[in-house]
Amino acid sequence: MQTTLNSTTTGAAAGATAAPTAAANGAPSELFTTLLVAQIKNQNPLEPADPSQFVGQLTQLSQMEALQKLASQGEAQATMLASLQQLALGAQVGSTVSVATDSLRLEGEPVSGRFVLDGASAQTTLLLTGTDRQQRRIELGSQAAGQVDFSIDPAALGLPPGRYAVQVETAGGAAPAVEVDGVLRNVRLSPGGSAMLNIAGIGEVAASTITGLQGRRQEEVTP
């Protein structure tokens, strides 16, 4: 019986020693330590728990806290990368960029873009749908497979300023993605931490939609 009591006392002492160290790590550690001490105090003196079980539980706690710390570090790094991305994109303000988009914001100036056909199309149409739900069709005629460039001149087409959904119709029924060029006006961070770009002729889009950086026009670079 004396051996049993010593074993129980030893286990309790080990739990008491571990408590300050674990509790210093935060609320999860404090809760774990409380449960561990209660488990030691309420164990059957005639059948004490194997001390290695407590060691295993402490090891699991340490692993969980390490994962939590890695997650926190990952969030901090993501925030830092978002800030660096904003700074890098901020340096491109005034440059022409290309973005993948399904809508345009016509403001009177011509807008240029492109799309890629996987196969030839006997009849290709650029379809613009305004907020009034009226559709404007720009016939591009027969097109071979590959990149097809287009330009939208609102004045020549009689299109009032506003936002338009844009899509491509082909003879085969394919609907290729549209890419549009515009001058980067400014960059801001959304509440979620992602960079948002305000682009002339397009409006505000996520930085992830960028497909190319065209740089500034030559006349703007030359002093």
Residue 212 is part of which domain span? 93-221
Sheet strands (E) in the chain: 96-100, 103-106, 111-117, 121-130, 135-143, 146-152, 162-170, 178-189, 195-199, 203-206, 210-215
Q: Which of 94, 95, 75 is nearest to 83 (CA)?
A: 75
Whether residue 185 contacts residue 203, with contact meaning beta carbons closer than 8 Å, is answered with no
Where is the domain boundary, 89, 116, 150?
Answer: 89
**Residue 216 C-beta-side C-alpha neighbours within 13 Å:** 11
Instruction: Assess contact for 143 and 159: CB atoms under 8 A.
Output: no
Number of domains in the chain: 2
**Confidence (pLDDT) at 219:** 47
Q: Fill in the DSSP letter of residue 114.
A: E
**Sign, Cα dihedral of 28, 34, 39, 40:** positive
> Tokens 């739990």, residue?
15
CATH of the domain at 127: 2.60.40.4070
Same domain membership, residue 65 and residue 99: no
How does pLDDT run across 135-159, given as a tens digit for each residue? 999 999 999 999 999 999 999 988 9
Which residues are CB-neighbours of 107 under 8 A, at least 6 positions away?
154, 161, 200, 201
Q: Identify the domain boundary among 35, 59, 89.
A: 89
Buried b (16+ CB within 10 A) or exposed e, 119-158: eebeebebebeeeeeeeeebebeebeeeebebebebeeee
What pLDDT, in 10s, does the model give residues 159-173?
Answer: 999 999 999 999 989
Q: What is the pTM of this model?
A: 0.57
Tell me: the pLDDT tens digits for 38-81? 777 777 666 666 666 666 666 777 777 777 777 777 666 665 66
Query: Do 97 and 84 belong to one domain?
Result: no
Residue where a domain terminates, one of 89, 109, 129: 89
Asked if residue 125 and residue 36 are part of one domain, the reply reads: no
**99 and 53, same domain (yes or no):** no
Side chain identity at 97, as an amino acid letter? V
| Same-domain status, 112 and 48 | no
83: pLDDT strictly greater than 50: yes
